[in-house]
């Protein structure tokens, strides 16, 4: 497995693979890899001949008061895990390589409707940063297939919409959320949790499951359920950001007609912001 830092080198290696008729899979990440990321690499390697994992902590998607500076950067450990998982190439560009003119750039990718609400409301500009860098990664790597985690449900919806609207020739595939034994969704940010916070964190997935059960038992007073869920989280010591019951297709508030529902949640535990989601049919 090789690691490259420059776009020039990346393109030259990929040109070679393409000439050999190989298909290319891309797994975009911000590094500090865990089993969730590795499951995406495995999925990509089933769908394509060679797998490129990008590791880039993208400044454009972080808000001014967010954790850009403290976000864990662990390239050596990440490389070891990727080599073991059968990854072919790591692309780990510097900020200057991706943004040679700095952050005051002209061209941005906006995916308005699907970026509204949920994380889009709490993190203004976040999905603009995500869509822009993912569009750039698609142009840099020109993958046949790209794999993203369902843990970031709204992000996956934004990327799918962007690809359709801009007719980017890539097959975007979602992969299920990998969890700890107690149900907590694996996330690089779990590393910020104190021992006590880590013990509390599974309440997020437990609450998703409890609300899903109630929906399946026929409850359809969505707003009351959302409020109850927020109360449960608050009583456990979290600060809920949102708990929204939405149509899985549109991510708009659920209506009685919707059969496929997704529960989206974000909550702070201390200063750490956890997100999770659960989809159900009824
Ligand atoms: N537990 C997980 N299961 C499956 N995919 C995941 C999981 N966690 C992250 N991913 C996916 O990995 C890709 C890279 O995500 P990222 O590097 O932000 O990881 P993360 O652990 O979610 O980090 P963060 O804590 O910053 O949200 C995304 O497509 C994301 O949805
Ligand atoms: C898709 C992504 C790599 C873009 O920076 C990031 O948002 C992430 O890690 O989910
Ligand atoms: N996992 C999504 C990237 C972010 O939180 O910035």
Tell me: the pLDDT tens digits for 220-258?
999 999 999 999 999 999 999 999 999 999 999 999 999
What does the mean pLDDT of the chain come to?
97
Longest dimension (CA), the chain: 59
SS3 (DSSP) at 213? helix
Going from N- to C-terminal start, the domains of the chain cover 2-175, 188-281
How far apart (Å, rounded) are the C-alpha atoms in residues 7 and 11? 6
Closest CA to 245 of 268, 229, 267: 229
Model-level ipTM above the cut of 0.95: yes
pLDDT of residue 48: 98
pLDDT of residue 3: 98
| 187-224 tens-digit pLDDT | 999 999 999 999 999 999 999 999 999 999 999 999 99
The angle formed by the CA atoms of residues 180, 218 and 119, to the nearest 5 degrees, is 45
| Best mutation site among 37, 153, 158, 269 for ligand 1 pocket (most ligand atoms within 8 Å of CB) | 37
Residue 105 pLDDT exceeds 80: no
Which runs of consecutive H residues, i.e. helices, occur in 85-142?
95-98, 112-115, 118-122, 126-141
Fold of 2-175: Rossmann fold (3.40.50)
Select the CATH number that applies to the domain covering 188-281 from these four: 1.10.357.140, 3.40.50.20, 3.30.1300.10, 1.10.150.170: 3.30.1300.10
Catalytic residues: 37
Pocket flag, ligand 2, residue 29 (CB < 6 Å) = yes
How far apart (Å, rounded) are the C-alpha atoms in residues 18 and 141? 11
Question: Of the bound ligands, which one is closest to the alpha carbon of residue 42?
Answer: 1
Annotated ligand binding at 30? The verdict is yes
In terms of phi and psi (left: phi > 0; alpha: psi -120 to 50; beta: otherwise), the region of 149 is beta
Question: Of the bound ligands, which one is closest to the alpha carbon of residue 135?
Answer: 2
| 26-75 tens-digit pLDDT | 999 999 999 999 999 999 999 999 999 999 999 999 999 999 999 999 99
Q: Do 2-175 and 188-281 agree at the fold level?
A: no
């Amino acid at each position: 497995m090789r690691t490259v830092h420059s776009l020039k080198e990346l393109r030259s290696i990929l040109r070679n693979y393409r000439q050999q008729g190989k298909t290319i899979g891309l797994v975009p990440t911000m590094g500090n890899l865990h089993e969730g990321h590795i499951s995406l690499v495995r999925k990509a390697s089933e769908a394509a001949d060679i797998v490129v994992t990008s590791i880039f902590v993208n400044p454009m998607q972080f808000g001014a008061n967010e954790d850009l500076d403290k976000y864990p950067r662990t390239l050596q450990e990440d490389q070891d895990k990727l080599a073991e998982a059968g990854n072919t190439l790591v692309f780990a560009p510097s900020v200057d390589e991706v943004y040679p003119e700095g952050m005051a750039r002209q061209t941005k990718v906006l995916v308005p409707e699907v970026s509204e609400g949920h994380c889009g409301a709490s993190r203004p500009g976040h999905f603009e940063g995500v869509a822009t860098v993912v569009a750039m990664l698609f142009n840099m790597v020109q993958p046949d297939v790209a794999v993203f985690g369902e843990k970031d449900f709204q992000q996956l919806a934004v990327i799918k919409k962007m690809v359709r609207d801009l007719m980017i020739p890539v097959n975007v595939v979602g992969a299920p959320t990998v969890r700890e034994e107690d149900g907590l969704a694996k996330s690089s940010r779990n590393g910020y949790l104190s021992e006590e916070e880590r013990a509390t964190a599974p309440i997020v997935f437990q609450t998703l499951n409890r609300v899903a059960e109630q929906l399946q038992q026929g409850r359809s007073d969505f707003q009351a359920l959302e409020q109850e869920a927020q109360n449960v989280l608050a009583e456990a010591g979290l600060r809920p950001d949102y708990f929204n019951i939405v149509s899985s297709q549109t991510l708009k508030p659920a209506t009685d007609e919707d059969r496929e529902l997704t529960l989206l949640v974000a909550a702070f535990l201390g200063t750490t912001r956890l997100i999770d989601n659960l989809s159900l049919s009824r």
